[in-house]
Chain A
Amino acid sequence: MRTDDLIKALDADASSKAMPLRSAWWLAAGAAVVVAAIVFLLTIGPRPDFMVAAHTMRFLSKFVFTIVLAISAFALVRALSTPGAATGRAMAGMVAAPLLVAAAVVLELFAVPEADWGTRLVGSNMMICMTFIPLIGIGPLAIFLWMLRYGAPTRPVLAGAVAGLLAGGLAATFYAAHCFDDSPLFVATWYTIAIAALALLGALGGRFFVRW
């Protein structure tokens, strides 16, 4: 087929009814929150003393980390799914959550006597944390990978990994409402491992599932 002939066919299919990618991302984000919320409420649910805990700094700080991660990853994954879009600022934004966690860890090390560091780090929920963050995040990750397929990422593996970070940030936000381990030492260790697992899964999805 000659290129001119191909153009005739494309031309006859000119008008586009496909939803613009930007709007589709918002829809996907909404769907992912709903999916994560359903899985969370059907499995572990919020901790019983949620309202009391909401007055403590450590409990609230967990949400700051996870929500900042989710927002920065959302901005980056949207840019990565659009060919030619500038990604520099969104890429730089990805350091915000790790920096906040690092700062909180330093404060925690000052606030807590050295003898308690170990118990704070190990906590009592690490297995639940490493099970339920991926479990809550897997549905949202599937939605985000599907969005990458709908989009046109020129770096699919990186885009997939960031989709995993986004799913991880979202899942961790819900999980944080359940977990009794509020120390930044716990969060910096086990949340990171659980979210990294989702990022790895996302990178694999980007490699093998996101083809266009």
Chain B
Amino acid sequence: MSGKDEAELSRLLRAAIAGDERAYADFLHRIAALVRGFVRRKIVQGGVDPEDVVQETLLAIHVKRHTWRQDAPVLPWIYAIARFKLIDAFRRRGRRIEIDVDDIAETFAEPETETVSERDINRALGGLPPAQRSVVSAVSVEGCSIGETAAKFGISETAVRVSLHRGLAAIARRFGRE
């Protein structure tokens, strides 16, 4: 089972790196499910939202896919990244709980602004330059293709790809930083 997963996932990621978007979508959906299971098993007490860790892991896998040796097994590589991001999330949470003391006053003043379901990724997205932010939002949340996004903003497809690429890299860097 795991051996079959391994071979299939390696094949998909190799195809994706070569530019096969369908293979990449398939790969990412499977990885998301695997990592979600892994993270949920590891997070027993609250404080860390499993889905934030799933998203952060997916972004890290994306921006670091050149670190996978194409002749090496892909599952140990994926789990090593997931574990690293999970530990990072715990560490950050620990730090944030200390900082949260300062935020209590604000929470008491305006309890309705509390946004429990807001994802870390939205904060990272919000910190992008406007051009990158609108391209990333169009492709992700609105589900536009590269061509549709280019038409929508009146820019070239190349410019859309560049903005998307830089925007995703910046989100991966900023994830939960501030």
Question: B-contacting residues of A (Cβ < 8 Å)?
Answer: 1, 3, 5-16, 18-22, 24, 81-85, 151-152, 154, 211-212
Contact = CB atoms under 8 A, between A and B. Distances in A.
Given A5-B140, A7-B58, A14-B16, A21 B77 contact: no
24 contacts: A3-B58, A6-B121, A7-B25, A7-B29, A8-B140, A10-B28, A11-B28, A12-B146, A13-B161, A13-B164, A14-B19, A14-B24, A15-B17, A21-B67, A22-B69, A24-B66, A81-B67, A83-B67, A83-B80, A84-B73, A152-B67, A152-B81, A154-B80, A212-B60
Nearest to B145: A12
B100 interface: no
Contacts of A20: 66, 69-70
Contacts of A10: 24, 28, 58-59, 62, 168
A60 B32 CA distance: 55
Interface residues of B, number: 53
Contact of A82 (B59, B77, B136): B77
A10 B17 CA distance: 12
B65 interface: yes
Interface in B11-42: 16-21, 24-25, 28-29, 32
B153 interface: no
B80 A84 contact: yes
Contacts of A14: 16-17, 19-21, 24
Contacts of B125: 1
